[in-house]
Structure 1
């Protein structure tokens, strides 16, 4: 018989886990355990940390973070790198070095508009953070560039600055050239008595000696590691295009958007509106198996599942801690039942850690941190709905580390190299990714922002008339033509080294053409019928699930909602909720509130099937 309880009823929770009810809190701790607690947790009977130190929690890193952000130094970075490399990576961002720059402050400091715009466009090219880069090199190069850019006041300053940096990225070439010229001039000086020639040679010698010294100095700033910024410096054409784009900018109003009025200006303290918000039940419920393991304290929770650590924020009280522990324990036991794995396997071979209210920020209900392999559920908002989602992220990374690289933070759904992982697992991952993204559906191009005007050729009007004003069929006809042209280009001769680049160019151009054709179609349809349609339908070789995810990302494919990592985690949620329903179970702490950005209808059935196969092939890694 299934039992229904209301989550967050603390008396009900305690009675479920301990027959003596709320006395569980008093029994949750011994004198010996108290001596192991931090100063701020010593009087708590439930909300205290157990297990290995996770690292990365706000309460542990606050002072180091404050010191570095207030005055970033190379020496302090090295100390942080030794103490916590994950914190070093988190702190090293472009914002740290260029927080001083924005167009408004540039105007106040009397920069020329063209120079300010040049700085803005160039700073955009710099890597956002140090992920994947040598942090010491990143620090040195970003600090150097920041100091150079602070000297720019005019367009000429900006151009000279960029030219100097461009010189620096070709240090080896200029060092060798300068050394040859130095040797040549020294030789000429030694062979002549002509004082005028000697003076000329010495002047040239001084110039090339300066070039040589600058070149050797430049090698210490690692500009060649800065991606798109390096490409700009290394390309005469890219620099010329940049100069032409900014040289005639003389009006600040053209580059600084008009400020919003007080009525329309958003509250600075208001949270950013998310593309989607989880719908949470007013009265969360749990219906499921009756045979549950009892927990009374964090140690019980850690030992039951084999977690590496359990961590609480300093402001989580005992009642809230017991609520979290109990609900998470019940949810994980239900999950283990559904996945048909041992309870201890939930901790992913004792590698996973759990945190409650110690690492969250913003409006998220919870999150998984790859670097520390820990799931955090926020103190108040993280009390339901997201545990399945975050656990799958942890499982996603676990599978990758088990098969490919144990020291990596990659996830198997975003990177699954052929030949490195077993064929059966590779096939199951590929199938899961494919059924989530590839299919036949109807997508929509938003043209609401279009304010221009198109002139229509006879062929365009003929297509519209032959399709009898059916916008979907018009777009379908257009896409057949453009895809035929793309295929013809790709099947022609393209040098193998350039094939992928050319293919990506054609895909980008296709997106632009689809938008332009949809805009023209919207305009023409309005002119003919008087009907204004801003969402133009077109056939897509992608699933409806994928298209809706891309829409949440405002058309930026793979950004967040439409990344395979996030799509797979949401697909897992849908799979789990369907498995719960099949058993007649409900667990709102484990998963709830899945709506329009989740798989639906026939697509959901196919994705569930692929998810089941993926889990079947990878669960063996837990044993």
Structure 2
């Protein structure tokens, strides 16, 4: 497929209409979600920018619907920045830069990675709000595994319960998902799939893809891809349990923030 073809292909979605067929701009997205900044790469044409803005808009509002949260939660209280066709990493179609608090998607290869990268941003954002004494670059998932002291709060406990389910079995030992991730890294002679923030982002992806609202620009590949066949996504009962736990956490987070804002 050509470079142009990748962005111009049709991405399946079945969610509600968020813009009634009208075009939106990245400026609209920044304003509605209160993103800190949105950066567009210099090689992105006006036509590509328009296509991408519509895709981002639909995907972000689908994520709002799926998680039962508001726009302010999605922009992490206005702290998150977006980049399209700019700010990525070599050999990476999508990237979360914790130093810049920026989620970047490549122009021609970032589709389907938005949910994964957003959870990295959330994992980073929530770390100092969940744990005491963590460094600026810390992720909550790593801090949890490191037994960092947790700030007492019902929502933090809910997220801690999600992490326990994510990493451990009933005997408090590494679960099958953790073991499969370690085995994948061993086979590939690298440390990536078993990184706690990567395990969590893949579990979040699976949760989003399993929802009845489908959007292939937001997430894809957790069921039938090569990676899925490798076993690096949660499966079976664990996947179902994680889906329920994550959906409940974000629902309760959304309710708590709505009450705070009212």
Which runs of structure 2 are paired with 1:527-542 in the superposition (5 Å)?
A: 541-542=173-174
Matched residue, 2:208: 576
Q: CA deviation at 1:369?
A: 0.6
CA distance in 1, matches of 2:88, 2:119: 18
Instruction: Summarize deviations over 1:428-481 as a string: whole Å, max 9, x none.
Output: 23322222222389xxxxxxxxxxxxxxxxxxxxxxxxxxxxxxxxxxxxxxxx
CA distance in 1, matches of 2:157, 2:189: 24
Q: Match for 1:366 among 91, 94, 100?
A: 94
Which runs of structure 2 are paired with 1:13-412 in the superposition (5 Å)?
A: 284-292=11-19, 295-382=23-110, 384-403=111-130, 404=132, 408-412=136-140
Cα gap change, 1:557/1:338 in structure 2, threshold over 3 Å: closer, same or farther?
A: farther
Cα gap change, 1:402/1:621 in structure 2, threshold over 3 Å: closer, same or farther?
A: farther
* Aligned-partner SS, 1:319: helix
Structure 2: tracts of 5 or more residues without a match: 1-5, 223-227
Q: Match for 1:588 among 212, 216, 220?
A: 216
Matched residue, 1:559: 191
Matched residue, 2:164: 434
Q: CA deviation at 1:395?
A: 1.1
Structure 1: tracts of 5 or more residues without a match: 1-6, 10-281, 442-539
CA distance in 1, matches of 2:29, 2:72: 11
Q: Match for 2:154 among 417, 421, 424?
A: 424
Q: CA deviation at 1:420?
A: 4.1
Q: Is 1:606 aligned with 2:234?
A: no
Structure with the larger RCO, 1 or 2 (CA within 8 Å, 6+ apart)? 2
Cα gap change, 1:572/1:407 in structure 2, threshold over 3 Å: closer, same or farther?
A: same
Q: CA deviation at 1:560?
A: 2.0
Is residue 7–residue 108 contact of structure 2 (8 Å, CA) maintained in 1? no
Is residue 366–residue 390 contact of structure 1 (8 Å, CA) maintained in 2? yes
Q: Is 1:547 aligned with 2:179?
A: yes
CA distance in 2, matches of 1:406, 1:427: 17
CA distance in 1, matches of 2:65, 2:242: 21
Matched residue, 2:225: none
Q: CA deviation at 1:557?
A: 11
Q: CA deviation at 1:544?
A: 2.1
* Aligned-partner SS, 1:375: strand
Is residue 440–residue 542 contact of structure 1 (8 Å, CA) maintained in 2? no
CA distance in 1, matches of 2:134, 2:75: 16
Matched residue, 2:143: 415
Is residue 543–residue 603 contact of structure 1 (8 Å, CA) maintained in 2? no
Matched residue, 1:19: none
Is residue 433–residue 564 contact of structure 1 (8 Å, CA) maintained in 2? no
* Aligned-partner SS, 1:288: coil
CA distance in 2, matches of 1:588, 1:345: 22
TM-score, length-normalised on structure 1?
0.36
**RMSD of the TM alignment (CA)?**
3.0
TM-score, length-normalised on structure 2?
0.81
Instruction: Summarize deviations over 1:144-189 as a string: whole Å, max 9, x none.
Output: xxxxxxxxxxxxxxxxxxxxxxxxxxxxxxxxxxxxxxxxxxxxxx
CA distance in 2, matches of 1:406, 1:440: 28
Is residue 295–residue 301 contact of structure 1 (8 Å, CA) maintained in 2? no
Instruction: Summarize deviations over 1:509-563 as a string: whole Å, max 9, x none.
Output: xxxxxxxxxxxxxxxxxxxxxxxxxxxxxxx953221121111211799932112
* Aligned-partner SS, 1:607: helix
Cα gap change, 1:434/1:418 in structure 2, threshold over 3 Å: closer, same or farther?
A: same
